[in-house]
């Protein structure tokens, strides 16, 4: 139907985000909250399309994001949820505070899929593969080496479908996107994200509030990033995301919701 593109193709920047752009976006969202994404680039002074801004925020800049690889419990949780929900990554991510759909999707495609195949499980149906492909995967290859961590590799597969019973270790108390956590900061000075972003030298002060500067931070983006990672741990699993439980109940709820839809 020739839908209107989400943004003018002309004059819209693509590709990796710069620290400067990140700062502008974060400044804007922390100040104004998430309004309509279409308007964000213009208001924030970015030459990006709104979609791109939303993606950058939800997948990378959001304060409540955990970073780093999924741990074993999280992986198992992903497997369980995938068995129930299929490729509905956003729903899966919704049950894993601090993780994004993109992150989970990537991890699934690059790690979990392979592991399941190695264990003789079809990653699509979560049922046992007819012919154990374990042997096939023995073929020497570098990535196998990388993947070949002892941890779950030897897990016996007695069930054709992976169940949730063994995921009681799953940490998240609840779900909910936690998208607007930034509003919890009454003083933006205290916002670690602002802190780390200011750590980048050479950035021109935005017209918002010069008091946001944090000279104590590192000089480069990476250093600041690690600062951010360290200081935002509280935003991950320790945080109350507003949903009571993250056990099987949530799955039941999901199933109910699915049935309704």
Partner DNA sequence: AAGCGCCTCAACCGCTCCCGT
Partner DNA sequence: TACGGGAGCGGTTGAGGCGCT
Binding site for DNA (CB under 7 A): 1, 3-4, 6, 13-17, 35-39, 48, 50-52, 54-56, 59-60, 69, 87-91, 94, 101-103, 105-107, 109-111, 141-143, 145-147, 261
Q: Tell the smallest beta-carbon distance from residue 210 to DNA (Å).
A: 27
| DSSP string of 140-165, one letter each residue | --HHHHHH--HHHHT-----SS--SG
Considering beta carbons, is residue 15 or 156 the nearer one to DNA?
A: 15
Positive or negative CA dihedral for 156, 158, 162, 165? negative
Q: What's the CA gap between 91 and 185, in Å, rounded?
A: 27
Considering beta carbons, is residue 177 or 213 the nearer one to DNA?
A: 177
Q: Tell the smallest beta-carbon distance from residue 204 to DNA (Å).
A: 20
Backbone angles phi, psi at 121, to 5 degrees: -110, 135
Considering beta carbons, is residue 54 or 84 the nearer one to DNA?
A: 54
Q: Tell the smallest beta-carbon distance from residue 29 to DNA (Å).
A: 12
Q: Tell the smallest beta-carbon distance from residue 65 to DNA (Å).
A: 10
In which element (H, E) is residue 98 found?
Answer: none
Q: Tell the smallest beta-carbon distance from residue 211 to DNA (Å).
A: 28
Q: What's the CA gap between 135 and 117, in Å, rounded?
A: 10
Q: What's the CA gap between 78 and 83, in Å, rounded?
A: 8
Torsion of CA 64, 18, 230, 68, to 10 degrees: 70
Length of the chain: 261
Q: Tell the smallest beta-carbon distance from residue 162 to DNA (Å).
A: 19
Considering beta carbons, is residue 85 or 194 the nearer one to DNA?
A: 85
Torsion of CA 133, 135, 141, 143, to 10 degrees: 50
């Amino acid at each position: 139907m020739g839908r209107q593109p989400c943004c003018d193709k002309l004059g819209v920047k693509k590709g990796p985000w710069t620290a400067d752009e990140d700062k502008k976006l974060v400044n804007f969202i922390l100040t104004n909250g998430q309004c309509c994404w279409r308007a964000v680039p213009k208001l924030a002074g970015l030459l990006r399309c709104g979609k791109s801004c939303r993606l950058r925020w939800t997948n990378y800049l959001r304060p409540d994001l955990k970073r780093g690889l999924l741990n074993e419990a999280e992986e198992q949780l992903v497997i369980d949820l995938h068995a129930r929900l299929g490729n509905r990554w956003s729903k899966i991510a919704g049950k894993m505070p601090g993780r994004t759909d993109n992150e989970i999707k990537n991890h699934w495609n690059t790690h979990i899929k392979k592991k399941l195949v190695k264990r003789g499980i079809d990653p699509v149906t979560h049922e046992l593969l007819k012919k154990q492909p374990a042997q096939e995967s023995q073929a020497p290859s570098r990535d196998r080496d990388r993947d070949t961590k002892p941890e779950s590799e030897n897990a016996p597969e007695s069930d054709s479908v992976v169940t949730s019973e063994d995921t009681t270790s799953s940490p998240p108390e609840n779900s909910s996107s936690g998208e607007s956590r930034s509003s919890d900061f009454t003083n933006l000075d205290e916002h670690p994200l602002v802190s780390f972003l200011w750590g980048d030298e050479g950035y021109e002060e935005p017209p918002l509030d010069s008091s946001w500067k944090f000279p104590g931070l590192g000089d480069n983006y990476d250093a600041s990033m690690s600062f951010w990672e360290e200081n935002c741990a509280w935003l991950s699993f320790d945080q109350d995301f507003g949903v009571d439980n993250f056990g099987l109940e949530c799955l039941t709820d999901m199933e109910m919701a699915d049935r309704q839809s």
